[in-house]
Structure formats: structure tokens, C-alpha cells
Amino acid sequence: DLVFPWFTWMMGVSIVLSQRSLRSKNLQKRNILLKICRRTIILFVLGLSEQDGVPKLENLRIFGVLQRLATCYFFTAIIVLVFDKKYDERDTTRLSICDNEKQSLCRELFNSTLQFWIQWFVVLMIMTVWILITFLVHVPNCPTGYLGPGGKHDHGKYMNCTGGSAGYIDRLILGNSHLYNEPTCKEIYHTKVPYDPEGILGILTGILLCYLGVQAGHSFIYSTRVRRICIHWLISGIICGSIGLILSRGGHSNSWIPINKNLWSLTFVLILASLAFFILTILYLLVDVNRWFTGSPFLWLGMNSIALYIGHGRFGTSFPVQFDVDNTHAKQLAIHLYGAFFWSFIAAFMYYKKIFIAI
């Protein structure tokens, strides 16, 4: 529930750092666009290759984890690239907007958001589209705005309404044969129709999550003071968390917008972004500022995250990563701890041998 969306959020932070570095080298926007397209295609193709066995084209699952990352990265990176001013290291006007000691904190926060108002406008329009589709699109034989799992939920009244408009759009555009057929809701509610948790509609809220990471990156590179950076992140986390809790009525399932990971609902994205802001603040102080913690072994894993993800997907259930053991708590715990240690060892080996696989 946490790692996948946090990776999406952190990807937004990296977009800012990456594009700032490229722009400082006077790289043209069209060349940066080519890099964005290249990375998107590689991620998407890697996601397609992660399917079990050798699927037939008529049963190929179109979307998945890496495909979601690819599409969210692409649209967010394009928004940042297109609606950003020409970068100039000698230009201190943008830096001063969010790094002025004489400004009040509230004014500084307002100005640091205002300078990216076009980007915010585009992202908010995308969220408006998500809300309109989610709550106004008519799904045959289902109540408008339905967000439930369907199946036997609510005494089976909405058996074929799994995922509401999100599921309906995927089935309409992609077709049942190109969707994930084993969603978590199937085991509990015995649903009859396929539902893909990484479907089309979730890309829209994924863009918001990624762009919130972009805002964290903006605070990081356009301010030189640790205190203000951390305050920016903490206030952003409080705002995102508060909106998410209000819309979900404190996390209640029967709310305006429930916190739902399978839907990547607006509240789910806001709550996860809130936690990400808080955790980044803590890690920034522990690792970068005070150096009380080196970041290892997580640093090793993070430097080759895609390689380890693909490796685990390919070999995570085979020898020597996994063994066939009895289905007891103790033995299952032991084998999974061993698996975590195994991949940490691989990550450490690659790190100290300076083997870094990036896309």
C-alpha cells in the first residue's frame, strides 16, 4: 500500500532535480523531451515483460506497476518541462521568491506555489476530470458515483459494478482480456468481472501524486535554509493529510471519497503524499543534515531499485531466492527474511562494485 505510491511521489522529486541539471547544461527542451520519451518507453516495455509465462497478445495485460510509473512520469515530466521558465543559474529572482529571510513563512509558501501556478492549474484540471468521470459517468446497472468492490459486497446488489467508473472505463476501452483478473477484492467479495488496480483512471490521480513530489523537489532546490525546507515539507504534508482526512471523513469507508488503494482514489493519494512529506523531512534531517544515519542498507537498494524489482519479479519465487517450506508462521517468516537479506546482499554487492543500472 505504501511503497508503490511513495515511489511515484519520489519520482516527482527526481524529475525536478534531473531537469534542473539538464537545463543548467543548456540542453534544449526537445532533447530533454527525447530523454523523457525514452525513459517512458523503457519503463512501459519492462512492465509488459513482467507478465507470467508467455502470454498471448489477445490476453496481454496492458497496464501494471511499471506502466503506471511510466505514464505518471511522462505526463508529470512534460508538465514540468513545458510550463517552466528558461533555467539560468545566474538568475536569483526565482530563488529569492522562496528563500527570503524577510518574508513571513505564509507569504513565502504562497509565493513558492504561485511561481508554478500554470503547472498547478494543469494538475488541478486533471483532478477535475478525475472527479467528473468518477462521480458523473453512468455505468450500466450501477449507481452513479459507485466506488465499491461489487461482487457480494452490500448483499450482492451491485455484483458487476467492481471499481465503478474506473473499472467500467478499463473494460470498455481495453477489454476484459487485457485486464488483471485476480484483484484483491475477488478473494473477499467473489467478484465476477475483472478489475485492474493499475488501470486508466488511476493514472490521473497518479499524476497528482507525482506532482506533489515535484513540489517537494522545488522546495529543496530553490531554498538554501534547512529550517525553511523542512517547514515547507511539513506544512505541505499537513495540508495534504487534512484534505484527505476531510474528504474521507477520517478514513471512513462510507465517505465522500474513501481511502482506496485499488482505485488510487484522491484521498488515498493525498494521505500517502502527506506521509511522504513527513518521512522525507525526517530522513533529510537524519541522513543529509545531521548525518546520524548513513541510509544503508536502504541506500544500496535505492541505487538499483529497478534492477532489484525486475530481478525479484523474475527470480523471487525460485532457488536460491526461495525455498519450499511448510506453511507455518515461523517458517514463512524465516524464508521471507532470508529473501529480503538475499536482495539486500545483491544490492550491497552492486553498490560497492559501482554497478548502477538506471533508465
- Predicted pLDDT of residue 82: 93
- Predicted pLDDT of residue 93: 46
Using a 10 angstrom Cβ sphere, with 0-12 exposed, 13-18 middle and 19 or more buried, the burial of residue 218 is: buried
The answer to whether residues 179 and 48 touch, using CB atoms and an 8 Å cutoff, is no
- Predicted pLDDT of residue 97: 46
The answer to whether residues 348 and 301 touch, using CB atoms and an 8 Å cutoff, is no
The ranges of the chain with pLDDT < 50 are: 88-97
Pairwise CA distance, residues 74 & 95, whole Å = 26
Q: Please name the amino acid found at residue 40.
A: T
- Predicted pLDDT of residue 225: 83
- Predicted pLDDT of residue 92: 44
- Predicted pLDDT of residue 96: 45
CB atoms within 10 A of CB 49: 11
User: CB within 8 A of 150, min separation 6: which ones?
Assistant: 158, 159, 160, 161, 162, 163, 167, 185, 189, 191, 192, 193, 195
pTM comes to 0.91
Pairwise CA distance, residues 213 & 8, whole Å = 8
Q: Which residues of 147-171 are buried (b: 16+ CB within 10 A; e: fewer)?
A: bbbbbebeeeebbbbbbbbbbbbbb
Pairwise CA distance, residues 103 & 101, whole Å = 6
Q: Which three cell numbers stand for residue 120?
A: 498547478
Q: Which three cell numbers stand for residue 246?
A: 476531510
- Predicted pLDDT of residue 102: 58
